[in-house]
A and B are shown apart, each in its own frame.
Chain A
Amino acid sequence: MSSSPQAPASPIGARIPMVDSVDKVTGLGLYTDDLTLPGTLVGRILHSPHAHARIRSIDTSAAERLPGVRAVATGQETPVKYGILPVGHDETIFAVEKVRYVGDNVAGVAAESEAIAEEALRLIKVDYEILPAYFDPEKSMLAEDNLIHENKPHNIERDFHHHFGDVEKGFAEADYVREDRFDCAEVTHAALEPHSTLAKYDASDSSVTVWSSTQVPYYLQLTLASTMQMPPEKVRVIKPLVGGGFGGKSEVIPLELAAAVLARKAGDPVKITYTREEVFYAHRGRPHQIVELKTGVTREGKLTAVEARIIQDGGAYCSYGVVTILYSGQLLNAMYAIPNVKFDGFRVLTNKPACGAMRGHGTVNTRFAFEQQLNKIAATLGIDPVEIRRRNLLQAPCMTVNDLRVLSYGYPECIDQVVEKSGWKDKYGKLPYGKGIGLAGSHYVSGAANPIIRSKMPHTTINLTIDREGIVTIFTGASEIGQGSDTMQVQIVAAELGIDVDQVKIVAADTTRTPVDLGSYSSRVTFMAGNAAIAAARDAKQKILAAAAETMATAPQNLVIEDGKVCCRDARRIALPFAEAARLAIGSNDVLEATGSYTTPESSQGGKFKGAGVGPSPAYSYCAQTVEVTVDPETGEVKIDRIIAAHDCGKALNPVCVEGQVIGSVWMGLGQAVQEEMLWENGRLMNAGLLEYRSASTLESPPIEPIIVESNDPEGPFGAKEAGEGSLAATIPAVAHAVYDAVGVWIDTLPITPEKVLKALERQKPGVRSQKSE
């Protein structure tokens, strides 16, 4: 425990270490692959070598005869379709009839050793009829035959066409209209822990228990039940420590189902852990996205209309695709005041691994396009990029044209902070040639206001027990994935109950023992589980104070809990230790039980049009960033010198965690900005390794300075909003802007590689260089 003498009495806002940090630094904390049960078999998956092919036949007999092989499974046995979205059930555990990408799942084996399992995969004979494959989304959209899914004409998963206000009128009112095309490469999460699942089937009561590296235990439970055709109550999902997610574990991943099916078939536990190459092919990352963007402004730089045509290359299955494409349009809004907005979005299927949710889900590439175009407009009109943003701020609280409710809005302060700290006024346009500074903003939801599976059920529920020693145990379905979920709930419960964090224990993410939480995705945990934790703690407090009031011969409203004691408001000296008060409330029971839930308010749930369900959130985080670069005009190399990121998280419940999340988001955005991209050739990934994918090391990672801005959201727990995703998107356009400021070229295609910078410099009109150095 850090022992700052000025540490506040309340755990809210305290820089306390994460509650699981000792387990992590000692190596004693257990991740899924660290678990083994007696008799655990090794599971392996046979992947398709073809991008698009019909399966004529599969012969598993030789594999089954191999000594040490305990189970072989193929698609025909479990043909039930699943997918994370109710509108996107298009996957099966193993391929039925067709494979749709290199890496698609064809069969699974469970064997007594890894070597036997690998040998068994080699013995499975699959007869494929190879079909024409689609790799380019713009070509795939023209497809007439050999469709990837028969029920998706032209290989279009979904398209949406939204029009709010009147863009024609808006463009007519504009003094300047600009159009650009942006192209953003596909990127992936590459969490350091490869996906892993351990499954055990108990024949005595036909139940299955699955330990898995998941961000969504509840959805995994439901999907295991549906695909294995078992009642959900016979499925138990336990989430051990998770070694990073970033969205890559926010839906059911094929190995989770394969391990369970193989365990049921073999009668012994089965563990499957992906190789790093398999992780890259499992993917579910951020899609390649093309944005054609048109923006109109008055000569003062006031936005009059925005029109976007967006194409996302979704890969072979729906995954989160319908949500991703909607986010890419819906969250054009809620950042600036834009009176007229039109959006045409196309989620397209191709024969590559499915894209899904990745940190900043759906918003990142659109935000890059918008911020870059806004910076271009500012440059053309001779308006300072800071000023053009200030002229287009939302007047919060407000509703946007597409019915997004914005209550707290710390963006103006974020801009002020980075402008001040970076010395913007003395730098922008004033640094020597080759040096530049850029500015951009971004935002993100604090949880989706509408659940993936629409229902009236709370988004999250938290139960508490308090024992006779005054020890509080939180039972929560919320998933700690390294972001601080457990710590946040412990801090909130301790704060509400007026006790020390050491008195609060947590049991999380075990579908048999803990109540439903929808998962760690869309940055929902702090806002939603945080509010449920407050509600549960208040329920407990009410019961404790009622019991204490009787003993202390006063009314409950005269009592408070502070520093582990129940005290009278009027005479603080009369105090009852917390444990004693808890014992009074427990009475003749074993423990005191309390519960609390969170459901989003109806006013935050969005409009009524088709697709209105995606984008609404009870609160939005905001971020502004400045990036300073040095560009070498001889090599095109972009060196990042300094990044300052101001993030409006509402209230920093734990500044160490908030800063860690902001820095991590910026760093991941920086990877996408300058070096990360998935390189495909005929459906094969050319860089399926961490070095080839160019995940940055310490030596390529610049100092990142976070600034916390606290707008105190009226509905957030203690005012808090999300901190784990919103900062990512601003980094990319801020880097691109800094490159422009350094050498005068706009790069509209991600990542911003030295090759692209050099090419742009070659095309540059002579004279730009001398202008800058004047």
Chain B
Amino acid sequence: MKSEAIRLQVNSKAYGLETEPNCLLLDVLRQDLGLTGTKRGCDDSSCGACTVLIDGEPQMSCLMLAVSYQDCEITTIEGVADGSELDPLQRGFSVEGGAQCGFCTPGMILTAKHLLLNNPDPTEQEINEALSGNLCRCTGYTQILASVRKAVELMRERQPMEVR
């Protein structure tokens, strides 16, 4: 297949690259842009590990052709922290044990990010519903739920925390 030049806007940064039109956004992010925080856990949109935000909406990048998202703002896990300051969700997952093996964590955090942007004080049921497309095999979700709640609490307090 013939390569073509495309432009992508990822984490507020513009990238120009050559790619084939059948390339998945997931592969372009991981292989061409080196943004390996976005994970591949399955091949059929079962697991949600590849979740990124497309214009603020959580989407599975394993289902998307990169060429089709040239006019969108794409946010990956690498774009969630504000410089050296972790996002409240990242802090929540760190202190509450929401990340065990960490493989589902990027997708979880991006999905939760969308939730909290739209609903800063979600109920347990709302959190569970929002995260129901992101599978985890380690935590049984209990500490993930606690992590999101912790983030809600931190957002209220707005305490900064630095990356070690």
Contacts and interface: CB of A to CB of B under 8 A. Distances in A.
A34 B106 CA distance: 14
B102 A690 contact: no
A44 B78 CA distance: 30
A725 to B, nearest CB: 13
Given A191-B137, A277-B43, A664-B138, A31 B103 contact: yes
A25 B109 contact: yes
Given A26-B37, A193-B41, A689-B42, A656 B102 contact: no
B6 interface: no
A558 interface: no
Interface string B15-44: 000000000000000110001111111111
A272 to B, nearest CB: 14
A482 B141 contact: no
B117 interface: no
Chain A, interface size: which category?
A: 35 or more
Contacts of B96: 656
Contacts, number: 182
Contacts of A27: 35-38, 76-78, 80, 105-106
B37 A276 contact: no
B86 interface: yes
B78 A28 contact: yes
Contacts of B39: 31, 192-193, 243
Given A27-B37, A699-B129, A666 B78 contact: no
B3 interface: no
Which of B93, B96, B102, B104 has most chain A Cβ within 10 Å?
B102
B59 interface: no
What does DSSP make chain A's interface, helix, strand, loop or mixed? loop
A24 interface: yes
A664 B100 contact: yes
B163 interface: yes
B106 A17 contact: no
Interface in B37-71: 37-44, 46-47, 49
Nearest to A670: B140
A670 B91 CA distance: 29
Interface in A392-449: none
A507 interface: no
Nearest to A17: B94
Contacts of B138: 192, 244, 482, 660, 664
B9 interface: no
Given A27-B77, A28-B78, A695-B137, A18 B99 contact: yes
Contact of B163 (A22, A241, A483, A695): A22
Given A24-B105, A27-B38, A192 B49 contact: yes
B55 to A, nearest CB: 20
A313 interface: no
B81 to A, nearest CB: 6
A165 interface: no
Interface string B132-148: 11111111111111000
B95 interface: yes
Contacts of A484: 100
Given A28-B37, A192-B101, A192-B104, A276 B143 contact: no
A443 B44 CA distance: 37
Given A17-B95, A192-B49, A482-B100, A690 B135 contact: yes
Contacts of B129: 698-699
A26 B77 contact: yes
Nearest to A31: B103
Interface in A193-221: 193-194
A698 to B, nearest CB: 4
Which of A29, A191, A273, A664 has most chain B Cβ within 10 Å?
A664
A61 interface: no
A390 B130 CA distance: 44
A58 interface: no
Contacts of A36: 31
A119 to B, nearest CB: 13
A697 B104 CA distance: 12
Interface residues of B, number: 58
A146 interface: no
A22 B102 contact: no
A662 to B, nearest CB: 9
Contacts of A660: 97, 100, 138-139, 143
Contact of B102 (A190, A241, A659, A666): A241
Contacts of A21: 93-95, 99, 102
Interface in A698-754: 698-699, 701, 703-704
Nearest to A245: B101
B42 A690 contact: yes
B164 interface: yes
Given A26-B163, A656-B96, A275 B43 contact: yes
A237 interface: no
A533 to B, nearest CB: 21
A38 to B, nearest CB: 13
B137 A656 contact: no
Contacts of A502: 164
A622 interface: no
B137 to A, nearest CB: 5
Nearest to B106: A27
Interface string A637-674: 00000000000000000001101100110111010000
B79 to A, nearest CB: 9
Given A21-B99, A24-B99, A668 B137 contact: yes
A697 B140 contact: no
Given A22-B163, A26-B90, A659 B97 contact: yes
B85 to A, nearest CB: 11
Contact of B46 (A29, A276, A666, A699): A276
B78 A26 contact: yes
Which of B41, B76, B78, B90 has most chain A Cβ within 10 Å?
B41
A2 interface: yes
Which of B35, B91, B103, B134 has most chain A Cβ within 10 Å?
B103
B10 interface: no
A33 B40 contact: yes
A189 interface: yes
Which of B40, B97, B144 has most chain A Cβ within 10 Å?
B97
Contacts of A663: 139-140, 142-143
A453 interface: no
A9 interface: no
Contact of B140 (A20, A690, A701): A701
Interface in A202-257: 241-246
Contacts of A690: 41-42, 46-47, 135
Contacts of B97: 17-18, 656-657, 659-660
A33 B50 CA distance: 14
Contact of A34 (B30, B43, B44, B77): B30
B139 A25 contact: no
A243 B140 CA distance: 15
A657 B143 CA distance: 10
Contacts of B89: 25
A41 to B, nearest CB: 14
Contacts of A142: none
23 contacts: A23-B102, A25-B102, A25-B105, A27-B37, A27-B105, A28-B37, A31-B103, A33-B36, A33-B40, A191-B103, A192-B135, A192-B136, A193-B39, A242-B101, A243-B103, A483-B100, A656-B96, A667-B141, A689-B42, A690-B135, A698-B145, A699-B132, A704-B140
Closest 6 CB pairs of A and B: A27-B37, A667-B140, A482-B101, A24-B102, A243-B103, A27-B77
Given A194-B40, A241-B101, 4 more contacts: A21-B94, A481-B101, A664-B138, A667-B141
